[in-house]
Amino acid sequence: MTDLKDNVNRLNALLKRGKISEAFEKYYNVDVNIHLDGKPPVTGKEQRRDMIFLQEIEKLNSAEIMLVAFGGINDDFSVTEWEINIENKKGEKMTIYRLNVQHWKDDKIIDEKIYFCGDQKFKVED
């Protein structure tokens, strides 16, 4: 298995450059479970491809990493804290604060919990 830190760094580099679809394809397991703000998970890349808050983003101004942590009994999870500045399709600028908790297996994310901080949530259609 590739070193977890290398995978996380490569994933985060793609995300910072706005290459979210590429990152999703390369680093997410086909049967990934994704939880948003403590809600029950939705399973599978195909079901969640359109849940990414990209629908509301017109322009990514910046994506800064505030914290990255690694751990787990088998060194199999990472946590990344983000500060993301975007413009939405209405031309409004906003800063999104979020935390991604990712569990990895065989160089892919198999479970991810995404927590948006405060009231800066995007609507996600279920």
Pairs from 38-41 (Cβ < 8 Å, separation ≥ 24) = 38/113, 38/115, 41/111
pLDDT tens for 29-74 read 999 998 888 888 878 766 665 555 555 678 889 999 999 999 988 8
Q: How do the domains of the chain map onto residue ranges?
A: 4-116
Distance CA 104, CA 51 (A): 20
Q: Which of 12, 33, 32, 31 is nearest to 23 (CA)?
A: 12
Query: Which CATH code fits 4-116?
Result: 3.10.450.50
Whether the Cβ atoms of residue 24 and residue 49 lie closer than 8 Å to each other: yes
| Overall average pLDDT of the 63-87 stretch | 93
**pTM, rounded to two decimals:** 0.83
| Non-local CB neighbours of 117 within 8 Å, separated by 6+ positions | 97, 98, 99
